[in-house]
Structure 1
Amino acid sequence: MNTANPSLSNIARAGILLILALVMLATRINHFGALPDASWAVFFVAGFYLRGSARWAFPALMALAVLIDFFVITSQGINFWSHYCVSPAYWFLVPSYGALWFGGSWLRQRYAGLHARELGLLIGSAAVAASVCYLVSNGSFYWISASVPARSFAGWMENLGDWYLPYLRTTLMYVGIATVLHALTEQALRWMPTQAGHAARR
């Protein structure tokens, strides 16, 4: 398989979805633990690899994210719907994560191999997608959630800046790891036919 080709087999798509689901499960379950939550990067990477499968893959990952949140909250003896983070704004995670998916899908359309141009597009698209995700998720929580007692534009700007860089840094870190693994896979796939050709000529 040529990884520059957006066409993936159903088995490959299912395998990628499973890996991404496991990564999200391992990191989202302890949001502020030693291993940062990879959910944002998971949706971006899923948009890249599973472009064309959004009708089933995106809802599957979205459902997993909600189920993980439900498990974490209820395991603490707290009613899910009364938790600080759960309000009508919680459902804005759908368009927030959708922005990440779209960013990965946009990059896939323009991908022709790991070259300087693609690396630039990767960093730019991941940063923009994560920024839109943060703006929507943070903004909806600030302006809609009852957990915020007093609201003002200045207060939102301050709130907006509190966690922006940590979220962006974490997302880019995980996307960087995925990029390294992608590059290694590309090299391995190029190496395998070469070795097979050498073996056939012996």
Structure 2
Amino acid sequence: MTLTKPQQAGIFLVLAVIMAGTRINHFGALPDASWAVFFAAGFYLRGSMRWAFPLLMALAVLVDFLVINGQGLDFWSHYCVSAAYWFLLPAYAAMWAGGALLRARSHGLGLRTLGWLCVSLVGAASVCFLVSNGSFYWLSDSVTAPSASGWLQNMADWYLPYLRTTAAYAGAAAVVHLIGARWLRGLAEAPLASGRRG
């Protein structure tokens, strides 16, 4: 699957809108899709990481900044913004890498690709969670008495909800991808079928 520059720009814009629209309220009715957005970006924009990844990161920070300041709070003193905030870079890079791995391993729309989707998504989300959750737990002032048992309990409380949300968005993206691929294949085959009839 080779995408043209306009197709890449279109996919980037769709992913940026989804991330901005859901990141506004992390725990709202529509949960934050950031992890799935970086995963999808790694899949569709794998060769464009030099420009797409920094722009998505900048958008994530901008949305956080606007939301926090919109609540009348100082961005730099907010409990979510600590030394751990910088660890979102490697955390989101792990999601991007998972999407890129899936792109490299996917060959058509079959069970093997579905298997790689599951493996790459769970692996990337697990690394992302360990980096983001671990850095927040150990580096943030929000945790007053960090301990190994406390961190394990924290991970047990939050891992599955984050994985479930990411998997739901990735599953929806996979369905859209499948429908789009079949639609495009139908468009490509239509002229051939009409040519055979004529």
Q: TM-score, normalised on structure 1?
A: 0.95
Q: Report the equivalent of 1:107.
A: 102
Q: Report the equivalent of 1:26.
A: 21
**For residues 194 and 116 of structure 1, what CA distance do their matches in structure 2 show?**
24
- Identity score, percent: 61
Structure showing greater relative contact order (alpha-carbon pairs closer than 8 Å, 6 or more residues apart): 1
Find 1:87's aligned residue among 82, 91, 98. Answer: 82
Give how far 1:194 is off: 1.5
Higher helix share: 2
Q: Report the equivalent of 1:54.
A: 49
Q: Could you list the runs of 5+ residues in structure 2 that have no partner in the other structure?
A: none
Q: Deviations over 1:142-173 (max 9, x none)?
A: 11111211111111111111111000000000
**For residues 193 and 154 of structure 1, what CA distance do their matches in structure 2 show?**
57
**For residues 42 and 162 of structure 2, what CA distance do their matches in structure 1 show?**
19
* 1:121 corresponds to 2:116: yes
RMSD over equivalenced CA pairs, Å: 0.9
**For residues 195 and 112 of structure 2, what CA distance do their matches in structure 1 show?**
36
**For residues 93 and 51 of structure 1, what CA distance do their matches in structure 2 show?**
19
Find 1:178's aligned residue among 148, 164, 173. Answer: 173
SS at match of 2:46: coil
Q: Could you list the runs of 5+ residues in structure 1 that have no partner in the other structure?
A: none
Which residue type is aligned with residue 14 of structure 1? A
**For residues 90 and 187 of structure 1, what CA distance do their matches in structure 2 show?**
40
Give how far 1:200 is off: 4.0
Find 1:98's aligned residue among 93, 100, 114. Answer: 93
* 1:164 corresponds to 2:146: no
Q: TM-score, normalised on structure 2?
A: 0.97
* 1:197 corresponds to 2:178: no
The aligned runs of 1:147-158 (5 Å cut-off) are 147-158=142-153
Task: Count how many residue pairs are aligned between Structure 1 and Structure 2.
Answer: 197
Q: Report the equivalent of 1:15.
A: 10
SS at match of 2:47: coil
